[in-house]
Amino acid sequence: MDFIIQNILNALQWGSFYALIALGYTLVYGVLRLINFAHGDIFMVGAYIAFFVAGFLLGPMVGLSPLVTFLLAVPLTMFLTACVGVTLERVAYRPLRRKGAHRLYVVITALMCGLILEYSNLAVLGASRLKFPELVEKTIWNLGGVTITNLKVIVIVAAVAVFIFLNFIVTKTKIGMAMRGISYDKFAIPLMGIPIDAIIVFTFVLGSAFAGLAGLLFAMSYPVLEPFMGMIIGWKAFIAAVVGGIGDIRGAFYGGFLLGFIEVGVVTVFPSTYRDLFAFTILLVILWMKPTGLFGMPQSTKI
């Protein structure tokens, strides 16, 4: 029994990262119908930004305590990562959109942006791995055979909080209504006096900021950073978002946790070689029965 509960906790932590990244995919897709393949690398950039922010705040110039550093690093990392996301939108996606390029070309551009982020990191910082400093003093609670760290709790709470926050923004606020409006018909929306570019920038701000938060939390949980850390987790989070029904906030959230649970579950029962094979077979079966994903609806208002 302890064994099962322990693995549920493991899966919740691992799923939280998928969910956080998948939310970014879903937001951008929901508004722009664009699969932002650079999102996994924005997550990687977020982890590196967190590394430098934490290093600066802990360093001799500022010299804050680890806890204060953590509290400051969260908004700073989110802000700076949002800047990267918005820059990407301004430099790469907006010009294409203005020229009326087909969606396919924008997706290819996104792939290229991701590679540029990876390899410019490799060129600037080198292949050597970085060690993320410990910001939260780790406490390990042992509850009758099940262990959980305070960091695990922070990660899981953050994922749930981000989901509730985004759900609130999208369904209850005016800007969320505008986002849903663009998703419904992006040609009619400007006629209503809604600044479409501002809404799109806002979407990128939200998606990238939470990728930054995921990067920070990931770097704290797995404190070894490398330039390609965002690639595979980014792909898998994208798959999680598709299985959940891409464009739907709930879909990204549940899809992320679903993938986390399947991966941990398969490794628990079978040798780890079968993990991705089984995990993606299960996801394929879900899509086969419901091609629009768990929460997806065929071409209608989403997000």
Partner 1 sequence: MLVCCAFLLAGCGEDKANTIKIGFNLPLTGDIPEVGEGSKNAAEMYLKDINDAGGLEVGGQKYMLEFVYMDNESKAESATNVALKLIDQENVVAIIGPNSSKQAVPAGGTCNDNHVPMISPWSTNPNTTLDRPWVFRAAFLDPFQGPVVADFAAKKFDAKTSAVLFDVSNDYSKGLAEIFKSSWEAKNLGPVVAFESHGTKDQDFSAQLTTIIAANPDFIFVPDNYNQVALIIQQARDLGYTGPFMGSDAWGTPDLIKLCGDVCFGNYFSTHYAAAGAKGATKVFIDRYEAAYGATPADYAALTWDSIGIMLEAIKNAGKVVSDPVEMRSLIRDGLSAIKSFDGITGSSKFDAQGDPIKCAVVVKISDKGEFVFEESVCP
Residues lying near partner 1 in the complex (CB under 8 A) are found at 2-3, 6-7, 10-11, 13-14, 122, 126-129, 131, 134, 138, 140, 142, 147, 149, 151-152, 222-224, 226, 229, 232-233, 263-264, 267-268, 271-273, 275-276
Least Å distance, CB 95 to partner 1, is: 32
- Angle at Cα 267 formed by Cα 148 and Cα 22, nearest 5°? 70
Q: How far apart are the first and last CA of the chain?
A: 38
Q: Please identify, using beta-carbon distances, which residue of 127 and 161 lies nearer to partner 1.
A: 127
Instruction: Output the smallest distance, CB 118 to partner 1, in A.
Output: 12
Task: Using the minimum distance from each CB to partner 1, give the nearer residue, 129 or 290.
Answer: 129
Residue 50 identity (one-letter amino acid): A
Do 144 and 1 contact (CB within 8 A), yes or no? no
Minimum CB–partner distance for residue 254 and partner 1 (Å): 20
Cβ proximity to partner 1: between 105 and 222 the closer is 222
Other beta carbons within 10 Å of 294: 17
Q: Which CB atom, from 10 or from 81, has the smaller least distance to partner 1? A: 10
**What is the rounded distance in angstroms from the CA atom of residue 246 to the CA atom of residue 238?**
8
Hey, what amino acid is at 83?
Answer: C
Nearest-angstrom CA–CA distance, 15 and 156: 9
Q: Which amino acid is at 25?
A: Y
Instruction: Check if the beta carbon of residue 251 is closer than 8 Å to that of residue 294.
Output: yes
Q: Give bridge partners of residue 146 from the DSSP assignment.
A: 143
For partner 1, the closer of residues 175 and 231 by Cβ is 231
Q: How far is the CB of 105 from partner 1 (least distance, A)?
A: 30
* Closest CB 224 distance from partner 1, rounded Å: 5
Minimum CB separation of residue 70 from partner 1 in Å reads: 17
Least distance (Å) between residue 17 CB and partner 1: 9
As measured in angstroms, the least distance from the Cβ of 236 to partner 1 is: 11
What's the CA gap between 47 and 57, in Å, rounded?
A: 15
Which CB sits closer to partner 1, 63 or 271? 271
Nearer to partner 1, 167 or 268 (CB): 268
Instruction: For partner 1, give the closer residue by CB, 103 or 129.
Output: 129
Of 105 and 274, the one with the shorter C-beta distance to partner 1 is: 274
Q: C-beta of 36: minimal distance to partner 1 in Å?
A: 22
